[in-house]
């Protein structure tokens, strides 16, 4: 069999079926289905608006973040995302006398969030518009 990767944006609400917790799902074409809670929540990430991302969405997609200084003027920031992907960013200053770990963290996590905007924007575009045929130029 062939392996496939898919992305969908759906509307959903919690509901029970046969005494089991789950979600009633409505797809963009109007098709309705039901999914067990665990299956649904492991596949779908709630976003604030249907076709755009918010700063809160970006923050919620980071499950754990932390930092450490790796020398006298550099902070290494590590962020684990909800899908298990781990992203790193380093932030350095010129003069060790000016080094501040907290500022290094804010700069590093800011760069990670900037990349996350792009990554989740890519996913949302795919979910909203599907895949197009390749156009050769």
Domain boundaries, the chain: 1-44, 56-127
Q: Secondary structure of 23-88 in the HEC alphabet?
A: EEEECCCCCEEEEEHHHHHHHCCCCCECCECCHHHHHHHEEEEEEEEEECCEEEEEEEECCCCEEE
CA–CA separation, 26 vs 50, rounded Å? 13
pTM score, two decimals? Answer: 0.88
CA–CA separation, 94 vs 111, rounded Å? 19
- Here the tokens at position 13 are 């609400």
Percent of the chain at pLDDT exceeding 90: 87
pLDDT for residue 136: 76
Q: Is the pLDDT of residue 26 over 80?
A: yes
Q: Is the pLDDT of residue 134 over 80?
A: no
Residues 79-133 pLDDT 10s:
999 999 999 999 999 999 999 999 999 999 999 999 999 999 999 999 988 898 7
Q: Is the pLDDT of residue 6 over 90?
A: no
């Amino acid at each position: 069999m062939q392996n496939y990767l898919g992305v969908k944006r759906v509307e959903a609400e919690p509901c029970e079926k046969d005494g089991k917790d789950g979600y009633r799902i409505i797809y963009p074409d109007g098709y309705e289905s039901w999914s067990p809670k665990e299956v649904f929540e492991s596949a779908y990430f709630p976003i604030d608006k249907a076709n755009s991302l918010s700063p809160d969405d970006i923050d919620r997609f980071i499950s754990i973040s932390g930092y450490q200084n790796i020398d006298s003027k550099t902070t290494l920031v590590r962020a684990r995302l909800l899908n298990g992907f781990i992203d790193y960013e380093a932030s350095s200053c010129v003069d060790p006398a000016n080094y501040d770990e907290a500022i290094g963290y804010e700069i590093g996590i800011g760069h990670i969030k900037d990349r996350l905007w792009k990554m989740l924007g890519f996913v949302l575009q795919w979910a909203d518009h599907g895949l197009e045929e390749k156009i050769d130029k």
